[in-house]
Structure 1
Amino acid sequence: MLYLVTVGVDQPSFVERGEAMKSWKRVPWIAACSLLIPLVFVMLYPAMISSVVCALWSVAVLLISVNAMKKQAEAERRAIIQSMEKTAIASLNHHRHDWMNDLQVLYGYLRLGKLDKSLQCVERIKERVTEESRISRLGIPSLVFYLQSFRASGIALELHVEIEDELQLSALVSPEDGESLTGAIADAIRAYQYGGGRSSWGEVRKLTLNFGQDHGDVVVRLDGDQTPDPETLRQLTAVLKGKKVRTEQFPSEDTFIQFRMPCGI
């Protein structure tokens, strides 16, 4: 079964997520460095008042740091929620537009009395409903949202998704592992989208995402017209370090990259 989505550009890459992690690490370091001021004061003026000032300074730094981290976390949470809401609205509008187009085409065929064309249109609609249902049954919310919402963007990259019959990832991997798999897939798609040079004018680059099982493992293969450069592989491997998801040797020349994850919740 094939499912056509269009890949967008507003999803964070593995480099951008790394930069976000660095911003979190700066707050404790700044707080620790600020404690040097009262310590130097105590060393220069070893008196009771100096110790009191040092203690008060430390408490103040701790409170300010905790408050700053809470505000930063809340701001990031609001930004993520707003981004997801905008993406969901765009996705719903895109789906509504698609359904309206299909219904208008079907209505036109019916008015013209072209029953054969009408039946073909109905079959296309039924096939798309079945394909969307298969993606929904993958069971990993972030992955389902990622695939279905990307139809709303206008980037010239067609992503075909092939799913093994009755495959439910939520019954095979833990929620944490599912998030790791989603992140790996998103990063690989971005790498494919922007790698291998620019496509020709009017050319739409295509990529096929295959989900299946092999010897008790979940296997996700990305087939396209290019292979990743060594730096891209290094970055993808670094992001997956310490996680169950791992990259594998390419089974064919058309494979961009393949991920494998052991089953188990």
Structure 2
Amino acid sequence: MNSWKWISAGVGSTSVLPAAWMLWHPTYTAGIILTIWSAVAALVAAWYVWRMEVRKQKVNQQNLEQSAIQTLNHHRHDWMNELQILYGYIQLGKLDKSVQCVERIKERMLQDSKISKLGLPSLVFYLHSYRTLNTGLQLDVDVVDHVQLEGKLTPSKEESFAQSIMQVIHVYQQSGSSTWEDERLLTLTFMEQGQELIAEFDGEGSFGDSDHIRQQIELAVQDRGIRVEQIHTENTTYRLCLPYVI
């Protein structure tokens, strides 16, 4: 929108000289020249805006592809570590440890599958790629009973809810600090209660003043139709509650 204002101002400024000439010498030729000049300036401006939009889309596409590659590489590295641990237990003949490792892998695969089926592409990509960000805040995601949001929220509600989740996670990232002795963990749980979608944030570790966190969370969801609830006053546990569209 701002670029259009600047371009409109530029188009107007380029027409100053021919307009002044027409006012000084109001002839048929001056009118034709002013009309052609304005049309050419408008076409050039439109071409410039189109070119900038194409360039912006290309940059965004490249950034998205790079993020996807980093996420895939990170997941591949994690799975290789799990397989190496499992292989080591098998070589040592530790059957009980091998079974525990397989169960852990199965549980993680199940949770990743549940996240992928949430139905909000931008949120799904963000949650899957979070581990590549190295923010100093560990994030665990749990989806209760295969929550699926497709068709239950309007497109605008889907986008605002996804943005709210990302912003609240950012609030926890910016609150407090982690040390070697005290690592911070944020557990995000998606669930349904009645006709509402619930996203529960449970923080473990040092997150600073809980009142400040609540203020920042309420600011993040302001005017989005999302209710904020504090579950445990002594902990930094909050819920975002959003009614379904039935």
Q: TM-score range by the shorter chain?
A: 0.7 to 0.9
Matched residue, 2:142: 162
The percentage of counterpart residues that share the same residue type is 35
Per-residue deviation, residues 214-251 of structure 1 (Å, max 9, x unmatched)? 341222232324544688457524xx64xx54352434
Change (3 A) 1:98 1:199: closer
SS at match of 2:145: coil
Per-residue deviation, residues 169-217 of structure 1 (Å, max 9, x unmatched)? 11422344322221221122223212x3544466432222121223412
Give RMSD over aligned pairs. 2.8
**1:152-231 pair list within 5 angstroms:** 152-194=132-174, 196-200=175-179, 203-224=182-203, 225-226=207-208, 227=210, 228=212
SS at match of 1:165: coil
Structure with bigger RCO (C-alpha 8 Å, 6+ apart):
1
Gaps of 5+ in 2: none
Change (3 A) 1:97 1:36: closer
> Which one of the candidate residues 1, 12, 15 is aligned to 1:38?
15
Matched residue, 2:120: 140
**1:24-173 pair list within 5 angstroms:** 24-32=1-9, 34-36=11-13, 38=15, 41=20, 42-173=22-153
Alpha-carbon distance between aligned partners in 2 of 1:129 and 1:230, rounded to the nearest angstrom: 33
Change (3 A) 1:57 1:199: farther
Structure 1 residues 141-150 or 41-50, which shifts more? 41-50
Query: Is the Cα contact below 8 Å between 1:28 and 1:65 reproduced in 2?
Result: no
Alpha-carbon distance between aligned partners in 1 of 2:38 and 2:227, rounded to the nearest angstrom: 46
SS at match of 2:80: helix
Query: Is the Cα contact below 8 Å between 2:137 and 2:178 reproduced in 1?
Result: no
> For residue 160 of structure 1, what is the amino acid of its counterpart?
D
Query: Is the Cα contact below 8 Å between 1:247 and 1:259 reproduced in 2?
Result: yes
Per-residue deviation, residues 62-118 of structure 1 (Å, max 9, x unmatched)? 212221221121112111211121111111111111111111111111111111111
Alpha-carbon distance between aligned partners in 2 of 1:233 and 1:107, rounded to the nearest angstrom: 44
Query: Is the Cα contact below 8 Å between 2:201 and 2:239 reproduced in 1?
Result: yes
Residue 167 of structure 1: CA displacement? Answer: 0.9
Alpha-carbon distance between aligned partners in 2 of 1:229 and 1:129, rounded to the nearest angstrom: 32
Query: Is the Cα contact below 8 Å between 2:144 and 2:191 reproduced in 1?
Result: yes
Matched residue, 1:260: 241
Query: Is the Cα contact below 8 Å between 1:31 and 1:61 reproduced in 2?
Result: no
> For residue 85 of structure 1, what is the amino acid of its counterpart?
E
Alpha-carbon distance between aligned partners in 1 of 2:214 and 2:83, rounded to the nearest angstrom: 47
Matched residue, 2:220: 236
Change (3 A) 1:199 1:111: closer
**Pairs aligned (count):** 237
Residue 141 of structure 1: CA displacement? Answer: 1.7
> For residue 30 of structure 1, what is the amino acid of its counterpart?
I
**For the pair shown, which has the larger CA radius of gyration, 1 or 2?**
2
